[in-house]
Amino acid sequence: MSQSLLVLEALVPVIVVIGVGALLRKYEVLREDIERGMMQMVVQVLLPALTLANIIGNESLDDWGEVGMVAGFGCGGLLVGLALAYGFAGLMGMQKGDGKRTFGVTAGIQNYGFMGVPLLLSLFPGDDLLGVLFTHNVGVELAMWTVGVSLMSGDKNFSWRLFMKAPIIAVVVGLLINAVGLDPLFEGAPMAAFQMLGAAAIPIALIVIGAGLVELLRKERFDWKVAIGAVVVRLVLIPACMIGAAYALPISLQLKQVMVIQAAMPAAMFPIVLAKHYGGKPEVAVQVVVATTVACFVTMPFVIVIGMWALGL
């Protein structure tokens, strides 16, 4: 089967599950309060369980130098994305006060978790890649909660409490368990429990994403300049830079596989929350998220196929 068909085969279930979430929200089966509770359950319980299940005992994460490179690549990649998106906002004529910072943060941060996991597992099965992905995401979180929040708010004061998030803690705990040799203690029932909880994380998260898209479309009217600009920078320029960096730099095969999927992702939804809490423009964030999420179902196969070809995957 050609690479393009493999990508489409992996993408269709993601679209279907997101569509189920959209229908549940449209017909009020999944109400807004239930949606919020489900996402809290995913972030606080299911995703940490999935993280621990894929990091504990993962031999590909035994090398702390490799762990540092993976997390550093996640951090550096996001910083480049933020810079490109913020600069592109200026080229579009956006100014501080009318959404330039919000555009830069939202278009610069990819949906680094939920949408990419099923694609990664479908295209590159059996390589312990989720542990690499979650370690990469620690670097993304580091950049988001420092530079991303600073850019959104204009405030340069940080608190380490920003990093006390369950998914980040799960990565650190899992790596420490491996480092001190306690991973055999988690074989059997504990690992089975982590795997059982973790198996629910991605389907539920995709359903919530679908429900969230319906709600966003109901509330916001589109500015086509923002929407088209977001698609260009998030789904064309940033992927080209990410794949180019993965090609040029001496990184592992597993990290290259992770980066191909990350490059194809639309804008993350969480910057909408950042915009609300840190003085941004939530309406701009919503337009960026909706435009790139809808458009990515067209661009994603091309980005992944070109990336796999360029990186020899």
Domain that holds residue 289: 3-10+53-186+231-311
Inter-CA distances, 10 with 4, 49, 55, 177, Å: 10, 23, 23, 32
Q: Output the average pLDDT for the chain.
A: 82
Q: Residue 1 pLDDT more than 60? A: no
* 76 exposure class (CB count in 10 Å sphere: 0-12, 13-18, 19+): middle
Q: Residue 171 pLDDT more than 60? A: yes
106: closest CA among 271, 282, 303? Answer: 271
Specify the number of domains making up the chain.
1
The pTM assigned to this predicted structure is: 0.76
| Band of residue 2 on the pLDDT scale cut at 50, 70, 90 | low
Alpha-carbon span 270 to 207, nearest angstrom: 16
Alpha-carbon span 287 to 274, nearest angstrom: 15
- 168 inside domain: yes
The DSSP annotation for the chain comes to --HHHHHHHHHHHHHHHHHHHHHHHHTTSS-HHHHHHHHHHIIIIIHHHHHHHHHTT-GGG--HHHHHHHHHHHHHHHHHHHHHHHHHHHHTT--TTTTHHHHHHHHHSB--STTHHHHHHHHSTTS-HHHHHHHHHHHHHHHIIIIIHHHHH------GGGG--HHHHHHHHHHHHHHTT-GGGGTTHHHHHHHHHHHTHHHHHHHHHHHHHHHHHHH----HHHHHHHHHIIIIIHHHHHHHHHHHS---HHHHHHHHHHHT--B-SHHHHHHHHTT--HHHHHHHHHHHHHHHHHHHHHHHHHHHHHHT-
- 218 inside domain: no
* 21 exposure class (CB count in 10 Å sphere: 0-12, 13-18, 19+): buried
- State percent of the chain over pLDDT 90: 11
Inter-CA distances, 241 with 195, 235, 245, 269, Å: 34, 11, 6, 22
pLDDT digits (tens, 9 = 90+) for 88-144: 988 888 877 677 888 988 999 888 876 777 778 778 876 567 778 878 887 887 788
- 65 inside domain: yes
- Residue pair 120/257 in contact (Cβ under 8 Å)? The answer is yes
Inter-CA distances, 294 with 95, 149, 197, 218, Å: 26, 25, 29, 15
User: If you search the block for the tokens 């009020």, which residue do you land on?
Assistant: 28
pLDDT digits (tens, 9 = 90+) for 84-96: 999 898 888 887 7
pLDDT digits (tens, 9 = 90+) for 228-241: 999 999 999 999 99
- 270 inside domain: yes
- 192 inside domain: no
- 302 inside domain: yes
Rg (CA), the chain: 19
pLDDT digits (tens, 9 = 90+) for 191-215: 899 889 988 887 887 888 788 777 7
| Band of residue 219 on the pLDDT scale cut at 50, 70, 90 | low
Residue type, 43: V
- 104 inside domain: yes
The stretch 270-297 carries a mean pLDDT of 80
- 78 inside domain: yes
What is the model's pLDDT at position 35?
78
